Amino acid sequence: MRMMGKGGISILPAAVAKIRNRDVDYPYRQDSDFYYLTGFAEPESVAVLVPGRAEGEFLMFVRDKDPEREVWDGRRAGLDEAVTKYGADDSFPITDIDDILPGIIESCERVYYSMGTRPDFDGRLMSWVNTLRAQGRTGTHTPDEFIALDHLLHDLRLYKSRAEISAMRKAAKIAVAAHKRAMSVCEPGKHEYEIEAEFAFEFRRNGVHPSYQPIVGSGANACVLHYNDNNDRLEDGDLLLVDAGCEFDYYASDVTRTYPINGRFNEEQRAIYDIVLEAQDAALECVVPGSMWHEPHDAAVRAIARGLKRLGLIKGTLANLIRDGAYRKFFMHRTGHWLGMDVHDVGDYKVSDQWRVLEPGMVLTVEPGIYIGENQSKLAKRWRGIGIRIEDDVLVTRDGHEVLTKDLPREPDQVEALVGSALN
């Protein structure tokens, strides 16, 4: 509210419940911006912030209590709890929003709102403003500035507080336990979905859900970046790439490990694995306050280009290979992204055309990879179908960084020792 100043108003709608079919809904997940400011998990709600408003600065429109509906859909907080439990200064029934909100907007100069992500709500906001405009002749005032709320709010979300970091530690810890569990029961003949099931078990027994659809890709499936069919059989001699994380109290982890299904890397797999590990180490070294956003990626690119050249998989001078992007055939994504309430979290990567400078409290993933698809017909067959990514979650600290997922082994010998260790 201090950032908006007097005369500002911000309006945030809750996420919409989505129907899958008939009486079945998709699992409901509150909008991250809305939850960040309110901690309120119910649909059909709107939060309004009006700095300096004498009758109350934080308003909530929520569903009224309704004993009959609550028998079917579960408990509602209702108007009273919006105030007593969620800290609103005042609360109103969501059904009255058309009558109440325009009158509050009227007293404001600037509307802070995330335009364009919710066309239905964009339309309603415009209709409230148009109602005021139509009354303009009778002396009603209309705000004359619309400002994207994202810049203010997403900048706040980028710097994690102590409480947020503790939720992220928990999300990391549960994901680490799940990955260990999955690795320890991995063996040829099982199926990708059986590995996925280990995550479902470990997540649910810790009270959390996946933060995204787990990727369990064996063999060449690992080279399909968003693979999540997870139906194939785990073959002796192949690698398994597992990218899976969970959400604890609305904060995500996002973790990838790649390991030999039979517990032993072959020579080519090990050679590629070593490069990805070198790239991750090189990138991690750059995750310190004062580094710029692109530096970890550039370091990973150098390590990968150098490694692929060493193996003869790309040819040329290192400088040319990097300049011309020859490595991109095998490393086609960036080395990381912000991590927080959303897996690909909010926050600008550039500020006035300059890459952002890393600061304490920011959390990002570091996830280099090399993917040699079956379609790389110019390469010897022994290289094809190798897809490797190593992904960890990293907090920028005052004097460097902390890898939140560091308890999950990445050194190849340790990885080999863990694979299948719970069997027999």
The catalytic residues are: 23, 226, 243, 254, 333, 337, 344, 367, 371, 389, 391
Binding residue for Mn ion, selected from 262, 280, 365, 405, defined by CB under 5 A? 365
> By C-beta, is 198 or 254 nearer to ligand GLY?
254
* Residue 337 CB, nearest approach to Mn ion (Å): 6
* Residue 246 CB, nearest approach to ligand GLY (Å): 12
392 binds ligand GLY (CB under 6 A): no
DSSP per-residue codes, 220-285: GGGGSTT-----SBPPTT-EEEEEE-EEETTEE--EEEEEETTS---HHHHHHHHHHHHHHHHHHH
CA distances from 326 to 283, 305, 331, 332 (A): 19, 8, 9, 10
> By C-beta, is 257 or 309 nearer to ligand GLY?
257
- What span, in angstroms and rounded, lies between the C-alpha atoms of 179 and 414? 13
Q: Which stretch binds Mn ion (CB under 5 A): 16-24, 54-62, 240-248, 355-363?
A: 240-248
243 binds ligand GLY (CB under 6 A): yes
212 binds ligand GLY (CB under 6 A): yes
> By C-beta, is 238 or 243 nearer to Mn ion?
243
Binding residue for Mn ion, selected from 192, 196, 202, 243, defined by CB under 5 A? 243
225 binds ligand GLY (CB under 6 A): no
Tell me the Ramachandran region of residue 400: left when phi exceeds 0, alpha when psi lies from -120 to 50, beta otherwise.
Answer: left
Question: What's the angle, vertex CA 328, arms to CA 325 and CA 333, rounded to 5?
Answer: 125
Query: Contacts with ligand GLY: how many residues (CB under 6 A)?
Result: 7
Q: Which stretch binds Mn ion (CB under 5 A): 86-94, 140-148, 248-256, 376-384?
A: 248-256
Residues 250-279 that bind Mn ion (CB under 5 A): 254
| Nearest Cα to Cα of residue 310 among 278, 266, 265 | 278
Secondary element (H or E) of residue 288: none
Which of ligand GLY, Mn ion, none is residue 212 near (CB under 5 to 8 Å by kind)?
ligand GLY
Pairing of strands 363-366, 392-397: antiparallel
* Residue 212 CB, nearest approach to Mn ion (Å): 7
- Over the window 334 to 373, marking each residue x when it contacts ligand GLY by CB under 6 A and - when it does not, the resulting string is ---x-----x-----------------------x------
Sign of CA dihedral 266, 272, 276, 278: positive
254 binds ligand GLY (CB under 6 A): yes
Question: What's the angle, vertex CA 403, arms to CA 398 and CA 406, rounded to 5?
Answer: 150
Positions that interact with ligand GLY (CB under 6 A)? 212, 243, 254, 337, 343, 367, 391
